[in-house]
Amino acid sequence: MVQSEQGVALVIAGVPGLKDAILSEATGETIRRFNELPLSRIFPNTRGAAAINAVLRQLKPYQ
């Protein structure tokens, strides 16, 4: 989970059943609060991977 002054970004990767679990929540509260932005795969040793690595390295740990 990444939090900034504007909001929170939740990145879910590698957990295929998690989206189905969120969608099947009885209240629908979780999916109602978030906008889904599907991303394409990011492969190791690519420019995309390097860009994401650079951004994540700039983040400060939650305290």
Annotated domain spans of the chain: 2-58
pTM comes to 0.42
> 60 to each of 4, 8, 48, 57, 63, how far by Cα in Å?
10, 14, 21, 8, 9
Confidence band (pLDDT; 50, 70, 90) for 4?
Answer: low
Q: How far apart are CA 10 and CA 30, in angstroms?
A: 12
Residue 6 has which token pair? 């504007």
C-alpha of 35 from chain center: 11
Residue 62 has pLDDT above 70, yes or no: no
Residue 26 has pLDDT above 70, yes or no: yes
Between 4 and 44, the higher pLDDT residue: 44
